């Protein structure tokens, strides 16, 4: 298991303010953002682990990697011609959980949560660049357990079993509910890809606040054999 600590990231006050999506930003709001951002960036230490594995077996609805079976038709279809996969975990880090804001200060709490999310996003971008360089692939995509009904979140346990002691390596713990701590953590399997696959392209949920890509009816039919 490869361990990457202190993943590089850059987060400015302008980026945070833009993400607030507020019509009017007062000087008071700017000061709050500036203060919370400084607290976060002073201690944030994003980290990641990953490993490279050859695929043992593959069939229509399952992929076996290093003796561990993942059950997903869509994952199977995505990796049917690639040979290798790269399971990973990326976290904004435990350090951010030490930041305190006043218990009744809901706005500062919201700002802190937003900043944590942005740090995770920036760290993931850095991780992807490092991963592609280290494993010598030009382009890749990923899937995550729980991102689609086809690959349930319970498969998270298998992903952690595949990687090894993730908690010891980067401080990320998998709970019995298959949720990760710290909360600002992502996991999944990267694979070489000719196009930018995103699970959102196959998700039927409308008005999803976390959607990163538009639903693609043609791709949905190709992967599932169903029309919408």
All structural domains of the chain, each given as residue ranges with its CATH number in brackets, are 2-197 (3.40.109.40), 198-228 (no CATH)
What span, in angstroms and rounded, lies between the C-alpha atoms of 220 and 228?
Answer: 8
Q: Where are the alpha helices (DSSP H) in the chain?
A: 13-20, 27-43, 73-79, 106-135, 156-163, 166-170, 217-224
- CA-nearest of 146, 126, 150 to 187 is 146
Query: Residues 6 or more apart from 23 whose CB is under 8 A from it?
Result: none
pLDDT in tens, the chain (228 residues): 999 999 999 999 999 999 998 888 899 999 999 999 999 999 999 999 999 999 999 999 999 999 999 999 999 999 999 999 999 999 999 999 999 887 778 999 999 999 999 999 999 999 999 999 999 999 999 999 998 889 999 999 999 999 999 999 999 999 999 999 999 999 999 999 887 788 888 887 877 777 778 888 888 788 887 777
One DSSP character per residue, 55-82 reads EEEEETTEEEETTEEEE-HHHHHHHTTT
Tokens of 214: 């538009």
Give the relative orientation of helices 13-20 and 106-135 as an angle to the nearest 10 degrees: 120
- Give pTM, 2 decimals: 0.91
93 CB contacts (<8 Å, ≥6 apart)? 44, 45, 46, 47, 170, 171, 182
Q: What angle do CA 64, 65, 66 make, to 5 degrees?
A: 120
Contact 139, 192 (CB under 8 A): yes
């Amino acid at each position: 298991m490869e361990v990457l600590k202190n993943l590089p990231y850059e987060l400015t006050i302008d980026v945070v303010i833009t993400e607030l999506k507020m019509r009017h930003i007062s000087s008071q709001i700017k000061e709050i953002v500036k203060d919370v951002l400084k607290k976060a960036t002073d201690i944030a230490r994003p980290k990641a682990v990953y490993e490279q594995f050859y695929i043992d077996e593959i069939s229509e609805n399952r992929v076996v990697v290093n003796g561990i079976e993942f059950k997903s038709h869509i994952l199977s279809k995505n990796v049917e011609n690639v040979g290798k996969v790269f399971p990973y975990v990326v976290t904004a880090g435990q350090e951010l959980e030490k930041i305190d804001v006043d218990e009744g200060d809901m706005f500062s709490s919201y700002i802190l949560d937003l900043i944590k999310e942005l740090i995770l996003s920036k760290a993931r971008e850095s991780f992807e660049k490092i991963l592609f360089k280290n494993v010598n692939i030009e382009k890749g995509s990923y899937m995550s357990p729980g991102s689609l009904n086809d690959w349930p979140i319970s498969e998270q346990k298998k992903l952690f079993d595949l990687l090894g002691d993730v908690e010891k390596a980067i401080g990320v713990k998998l709970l019995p509910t298959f949720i990760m701590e710290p909360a600002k953590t992502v996991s999944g399997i990267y694979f070489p890809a000719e196009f930018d696959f995103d699970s959102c392209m196959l998700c039927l949920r409308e008005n999803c606040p976390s959607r990163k890509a538009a639903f693609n009816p043609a791709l949905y039919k190709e992967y599932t054999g169903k029309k919408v």
